[in-house]
Amino acid sequence: MTPGNPLVLGPVFLPLGGAALCVLLARRRWLQQLVALSASSLAWLCSLGILYANWRFGPQLYRLGGWPTPDGIVLAPDLLSSLFDVMATTVVAAGVLYAVGCRDKCASYPAFLPLFLCMAAGLNGAFYTGDIFTLFVFVELMVISSVILVAISDNPLGVEAAIKYLLISAMGSLFLLLGIAAIYATFGTLTLADVARLLASEGRPLLAQAAAVMLMCAFLLKSAVFPFHFWQPDFHTTAPTPIHAVLSSVVVKVGVYGLIRLTTLLFTAEAPLIRALLIVLGLIGIFFGSLSALRTYDAKRMLAYSTFGQIGFILLGIGWGTPLALVGAVVYAVNHALIKSSLLMITGAVSSRMPTKSARLTDIGGAGRQMRLTSRLYLLGGLALAGVPPLNGFISKVALIRGGIDAQNWLTLGLAVAAGLITLLYMIRTWQLIFQQQPDAALKLKPQGDSLAAPALLIGLCILLGVWATPLVGLATAAVAQLGNPQIYIQAVLGG
C-alpha cells in the first residue's frame, strides 16, 4: 500500500524541522529568524497545494509508516481541514513575520521561535490528522508550546495566566482523553473514518453517547465557549503580540473544527441535540463577549472578549445546521482569523511605542494620533470585524444571515443581527480613543515600534476577500457539500 501524498507532511513536519534547526542556531538570531520565516512560508505553500489537490481530486492521505488504515496513523485532510489549515498557516506565517520585527524582549529569547514553530506544527496537525488520539497529541503540543510562550512574556502577569490556562487545559485534556478511551473501549479503533462507519452501522452503545458529551466539552473549552470561557481574557491578553495574534484567531478554531466534525461525521444521530445547545451557547457568547468588549479597559483585552462574540456567531451557523448555515460558519471562521490577527498586531504595534508597553486605554489614548498608516489599518480592520462592506467581514455576515434565513430561525437571527451593531460600537469607540483624541501632554512615545508589514498584508487579504469573495465562498460551499456525504471521507480513508 502506497503511503499517499507526501505534500501532506509539509505543514506538520516543516515547522517541527524548523524548530529543531532553530534550537541549534540559538546563538544566531538572524539565522533563527530566516529559518522560521522559511519554514512557515513553505508550510503555507504546502497547505495551498493540499487545498488545490483536495479541490481537484478529493481527500488527500498520508499513512505514516506505510501502515494500512485503520491499523496505523493517517493524516487525511479533506476540503474542510485543508481550508482551515490554509487559514492557520497564513496567520502563523504573518505571526512569524511580525515576531521578526517585534521589539518585545521575549521575542529575542533563543526558545521563542522554536516554541512558536512547535505551536504551529501542533495546530496544523490537529487539522490534518485522521486519528482521534493523534489529535490529542497535536493539541497537547500546541497547548504546551503556547503556555510556555505566555509564561516568558514581558508582561509580569504572564506566569499567572499561563498557570491558569495550564490547569484549565488539563480539564480539557481529561475530557478529550476520556472521550477517546470511551470510543476505543466501544469500537476498538481510533481512526475517525472507522469510528464514523461503526457509529453509523452499530447503533449507539452507552459509552459512545458518553464519548459525545466528553468530546463536546473538550472542544467547547478549546474554543473558550461559555461556560468554559473564563481562562481566555487573561491568557490571551498577557501573551506576546505575535502569539496573541495566533491564539485569539486560529488556535480557538481547533474547537470549532472539532464541533463541525462531531456533528457532521461522528455523532450525526445526536447532531440535532448538540446543535440546539450550540445555538444557546452561541447567543450567550455573542452578547457576553460583545458587551464585555464594549466596557473593558484594555485594547488587547477588548479584542480577546470580542473573540467570545465572534465564536458565538460561528456556533450559530453550526447550530442552525443547514448547508447554507454551515457555509456561513466556515466563511466566518476564515475571515475572522485574518481580521482578528491583524487587529491584534496593530494594537501591539501601538503599545510597543509606549514606555511601559501598556495596552490600557487610559495609557494609549491619543497615542496613535500621529500614526496615520496605523490608524487607517486599524479602522479598516475594525470595519471588517463589524461587517461593513466591501470588506471580508461583510461577506461573513451576509453568508451567516443567508444561513439563518435558510434555517428559518428568525428569533436567533434577529438577535445576532442586533448584536452585530455592538461590534461596530466597540470598534469605533476604541479607534477614536487611540487614534482620534488628543494625547496627554506628558505622553512620550518611543521613536520606533513593532513592524506593520504583517498586519498590512493581512488587511490587504481582508480587502481582497471582500472585493473578490468567490473563491472562499466556493471552497466553503464545496467543503460543506463534502461534509453532507460522510461516505466520501470514509471511503477515501478506508478504501472501498
Residue 13 lies inside a defined structural domain of this protein: yes
pLDDT class of 337 with cuts at 50, 70, 90: very high
C-alpha distance from residue 259 to each of 202, 219, 471 (Å):
22, 6, 24
pLDDT at 445 over 80: no
pLDDT at 333: 93
One-letter amino acid identity for 425? L
| Per-residue confidence (pLDDT) for residue 442, from 0 to 100 | 66
| Number of Cβ atoms within 10 Å of the Cβ of 84 | 29
129 Rama class: left (phi>0) / alpha (psi -120 to 50) / beta: beta
Whether 1 maps to a domain, the answer reads no
Whether 352 is covered by a domain: the verdict is yes
- Count: domains in the chain: 1
- Residue 319 falls inside a structural domain: yes
Residue 420 makes CB contacts below 8 A (sequence gap 6+) with 313, 386, 387, 397
Confidence of residue 112 (pLDDT cuts 50, 70, 90): very high
**Residue the block writes with cell 503580540:** 241
- At 243, is the secondary structure helix, strand, or coil? helix
Residue 472: per-residue pLDDT:
93
User: How far is Cα 135 from Cα 133, in angstroms, rounded to an integer?
Assistant: 5
266: confidence class by pLDDT, cuts 50, 70, 90: confident
Q: Would you say residue 1 has pLDDT above 50?
A: no
The verdict on residue 18 lying in a domain is yes
Average pLDDT, the chain: 88
pLDDT of 441:
65
- 132 domain-assigned: yes
Q: How confident is the model at residue 2 (pLDDT cuts 50, 70, 90)?
A: low
Residue 381 lies in a domain: yes
C-alpha grid cell for residue 240? 506576546
The grid coordinates of residue 358 equal: 501598556
Question: pTM, whole model, 2 decimals?
Answer: 0.94
Which pLDDT band, with edges at 50, 70 and 90, does 418 fall under? Answer: confident
Domain span including residue 293:
6-494
pLDDT of 496 reads 60
Q: Which three cell numbers stand for residue 236?
A: 490571551
In a domain, 263, yes or no: yes
Q: Give the Cα separation of 364 and 270 in Å (integer).
A: 49
pLDDT of residue 145: 92
Confidence of residue 187 (pLDDT cuts 50, 70, 90): confident
Q: Please enumerate in sequence order all residues whose Cβ is within 8 A of that of 45, keeping only pairs 6 or more positions apart, or say none.
A: 10
**Whether 451 contacts 101, CB under 8 Å:** yes
**Sequence-ordered strand ranges (E) for 20-146:** 62-63, 74-75
Q: How far apart are CA 152 and CA 331, in angstroms?
A: 34
Lowest mean pLDDT among 73-87, 312-326, 434-448: 434-448
Decide the pairing of beta strands 62-63 and 74-75: antiparallel
